[in-house]
Every structure is written in C-alpha cells, then in structure tokens.
Structure 1
Amino acid sequence: MVRGRLWRRSNPALSDNVRAGLVAELMDARRIIGSAGRTGDTEAIAAARTRVHAAKVALGERGPVWWDDGAPDLNRHMARKTPYADWFASLDLSAAHSFSNGSAG
C-alpha cells in the first residue's frame, strides 16, 4: 500500500532467482528511462517503458492475476473504498508517516 492505495505485490511463487532477474531487468529499464529523459531520446524512453511493463507483467504486478482464490484485483484502488476498509482504518499510520518524513529515530 502506498498513500492509502493498494498495489499488487509480485507473485510469491516466483523463485528467488527468477524474481531477482526480473527486478534487475526492471531497474535497468528504469535507469534507461531516466538517462534517456535527460537527453530527450524519446525512442529509448518508449523502448524502456515497454521493458518496464514486460518485467512488471512477468513479476505478476500487472496483467493477469496470479492468485486463484477468486479475490478481485484491487490494484491501485483506495483501501478505504474496498473490502479492506476496516483493516485500513485500524492501521496506525502515524509511525509510518513520521518515518517517511525523516522525523523518526
């Protein structure tokens, strides 16, 4: 969850080696987007975005769901507007907020 929004996690059935390779591919493509953005290379940006999407689909973060229990895909939904609203309301987010602002310690 990021800022109250649910995000789909990677498929936990992936082996550590497969996951590591896909994450490395994802991060490499993201680095290319950054460097190509600084130079204005729109073709490289488009190609790297395609690689990002492919890595995220392979990780299970996008595309068809990897679970088989019939639960809906609530990716990118606000937690307070989902069946997880009560759970979300029960979280103590003040500690996470303090930490993210660098004031915890």
Structure 2
Amino acid sequence: MKKLTKEDILKGKDRQETVHIDVYESSVVIRPLTDGELSSVFAVIGSIPLKEDGTPDPASVDITKNFKALRLVTSLGLVDPRLSEDEVADMKFGVPEFIGTRILEISGISPNIKKKT
C-alpha cells in the first residue's frame, strides 16, 4: 500500500475538469475546493436545520443563503475563466448553481448528479 505524501495531499486542488454550459454554448474549467475554502462556504450557509430523524434537511436552508453560497463556490472553483462573486452573480440564471453544484461534487461534498444547463 502506498504511503500518502504531502505532495499527494496538496495536489488535490490541482485536479481540473471541463464542464460544458449549454446556455452559453461553451465550456469552463473548474477545480475542487480546499478545506479552507469549503469552511468559508459553510460559514455563508450557517447551521443546517435537521429533520426529526437527525439528518440534515437541505430543503430548509434559506434559499438566499444557498444561492450566495453557490456563487461563492463557483467563484472559488472556476479556473478558466476566473470570475469574482459579483461577476458570477451576473451570469444567466441557473448557471452559477449548475457550476457550483458540480464543483461541490468533485470536492466530495454533494452526490454526483448529472444535470444539463
């Protein structure tokens, strides 16, 4: 079994993926977020309400916080083109959420859901 090295750990954010955006008829390049970046995203969302069975209830998260968090995720995870949060907010509706969701997926945060935008 291979021993995990410091270089292996730090190259995780170097992984890149090209994602096609149908509404722009173009592609963007994204990368996974680091632990520190994800902490910033979770700070935007705040505490996630729990269902009666104790599992997280993402449906109860304030929609405004959810959109803001996904814009932050998109801004942090876009490699090409690089965009600020304000620039991400100027994208066509649904695109930052699509890109942000894919970035969270490759960061290991949310399940891999295939969806077109």
Q: TM-score scaled to structure 2, two decimals?
A: 0.27
Structure with more of its chain in strand, by fraction: 2
Q: TM-score scaled to structure 1, two decimals?
A: 0.29
Structure with more of its chain in helix, by fraction: 1
Considering Cα pairs closer than 8 Å and 6+ residues apart, tell me whether 1 or 2 has the greater RCO: 1
Max Rg structure: 1
